[in-house]
């Protein structure tokens, strides 16, 4: 099936280059120049990936992304002339999957789009809590859902509610990369009321607790710009 890409870009010369690069690769591309047009298109729910410029005539791409992430996990690549670290970090924290700076190589852009789509297909966003297997895991971890506890190397971790739910979600699918948005949806009762940075904060405290038990293992991995995963055994 052809992936449908929504391009939001107010500069026609750039839009043409992107459109050409992506249609050459067999993608279907819709091009919009305004935030409000883009939101109308997104509301139809027919797009597989969003390429988003940040400086748009009727608003900011970052604001659009922030609103979008309250209800949608659509893979998003930011394409911006703004190379400030703050924009990058903010864009990724708001849930963008990748960030490409103008000027860019059209072929590289197409390759990145393909990579994002591949990851998303492999990691479907719907997580079935029933797949969390009681008591599983590995020599490293053991979940005790009755007591809402997790043991790591045979020691019960002293976890807060959020840390417990975060780790349980990660353990449900070891090695799978969860975006911050996906973790929020699973763990926080009202994800819209929290900020994705909360995920980072709780991951940090969780890591510290794991480190107390096994100082060198660091089973939680950070995937820059993507999110987190957990490994449950030594892969060396
Ligand atoms: Ca622009």
CATH of the domain at 147: 1.10.10.10
Q: What is the predicted pLDDT for the residue at 132?
A: 40
Both 133 and 68 in a single domain? no
Q: 133: CA distance to ligand 1 center in Å? A: 47
Alpha helices in 69-136 (DSSP H): 85-93, 106-122
Ligand 1 centre distance from Cα of residue 90 (Å): 17
Neighbours of 155 (CB within 10 A): 12
Single residue among 60, 85, 120 that ends a domain in this structure: 120
Q: What is the pLDDT of residue 138?
A: 66
Q: Is residue 104 part of a domain?
A: yes
* Residue whose token pair is 């050409």: 20
Q: What pLDDT does 131 receive?
A: 39
Are 104 and 163 part of one and the same domain? no
pLDDT digits (tens, 9 = 90+) for 161-191: 889 999 999 998 888 899 888 888 888 776 6
Q: How far is the CA of 62 from the centre of ligand 1 (A)?
A: 12
Q: In this structure, which residues have their CB less than 5 angstroms from ion ligand 1?
A: 10, 53, 55
Q: Measuring CA to CA, how many Å separate 48 from each of 7, 30, 44, 45, 126?
A: 11, 11, 11, 8, 15
Q: Within this chain, do residues 100 and 159 fall inside the same structural domain, yes or no?
A: no
Evaluate whether 67 touches 43 at the Cβ level (below 8 Å).
Answer: no
> How many angstroms separate the CA atoms of 184 and 120, rounded?
17
Evaluate if pTM is beyond 0.75. no
Same domain, 211 and 134: yes
**16 belongs to a structural domain:** yes
Place of tokens 């991951």: 203
The count of domains in the chain is: 2
**C-alpha 44 to ligand 1 mean position (Å):** 24
Under 8 Å CB-to-CB from 144, ≥6 apart: which residues? 134, 135, 150, 151
Q: Do 150 and 177 reside in the same domain of the chain?
A: yes
Which of residues 96, 120, 144 is at a domain's end? 120
172 in a structural domain: yes
Crossing angle, helix 85-93 and helix 61-68, to 10 degrees? 20
Q: What is the pLDDT of residues 114-145, one digit of tens each?
A: 999 888 765 544 444 433 444 455 678 888 87
> Do 108 and 134 lie in a common domain?
no
Q: Is residue 28 part of a domain?
A: yes
In a domain, 144, yes or no: yes
Strand partners, 17: none
The answer on 91 and 25 residing in a single domain is: yes
| 36 and 113 co-located in one domain | yes
Residue 116 sits in the same domain as residue 14: yes
Task: Say if 168 falls within a structural domain.
Answer: yes
Coil vs helix vs strand at 55:
strand
Distance between Cα 10 and ligand 1 center (Å): 5
CA–CA distance from 113 to each of 97, 119, 136, 167 (Å)? Answer: 10, 10, 35, 30
Distance CA 151, CA 142 (A): 5
CATH number of the domain that residue 26 is part of? 3.40.50.2300
Report residues of the chain scoring pLDDT below 50: 124-135
Residue 78 CA, ligand 1 centroid: distance in Å = 11
**Do residues 115 and 159 share a domain?**
no
111 shares its domain with 94: yes
Question: What is the 71 CA–ligand 1 centroid distance (Å)?
Answer: 24
Range of the domain at 217: 129-230
56: CA distance to ligand 1 center in Å? Answer: 5
**Residue 60 sits in the same domain as residue 163:** no
Inside any domain, residue 236:
no
3-class DSSP state of 208: helix
């Amino acid at each position: 099936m052809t992936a449908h890409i929504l391009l939001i870009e107010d500069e026609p010369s750039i839009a043409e280059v992107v459109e050409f690069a992506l249609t050459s690769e067999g993608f279907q591309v819709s091009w919009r120049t305004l935030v409000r047009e883009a939101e109308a298109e997104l509301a139809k729910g027919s797009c597989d990936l969003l390429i988003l410029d940040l400086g748009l005539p009727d608003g900011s791409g970052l604001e659009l992304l922030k609103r979008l992430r309250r209800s949608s996990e659509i893979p998003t690549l930011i394409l911006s002339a703004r190379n400030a670290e703050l924009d990058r970090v903010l864009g990724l924290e708001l849930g963008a999957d990748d960030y490409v700076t103008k000027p860019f190589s059209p072929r590289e852009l197409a390759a990145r789009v393909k990579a994002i789509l591949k990851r998303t297909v492999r990691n479907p966003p719907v997580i079935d809590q029933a797949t969390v297997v009681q008591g599983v895991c590995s020599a490293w971890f053991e979940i005790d859902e009755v007591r809402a506890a997790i043991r790591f190397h045979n020691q019960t971790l002293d976890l807060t509610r959020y840390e417990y739910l975060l780790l349980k979600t990660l353990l449900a699918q070891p090695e799978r990369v969860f975006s911050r948005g996906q973790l929020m949806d699973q763990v926080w009762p009202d994800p819209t009321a929290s900020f994705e940075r909360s995920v980072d904060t709780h991951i940090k405290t969780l890591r510290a607790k794991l480190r107390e038990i096994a100082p060198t293992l660091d089973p939680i991995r950070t995937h820059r710009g993507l999110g987190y995963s957990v490994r449950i055994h030594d892969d060396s």
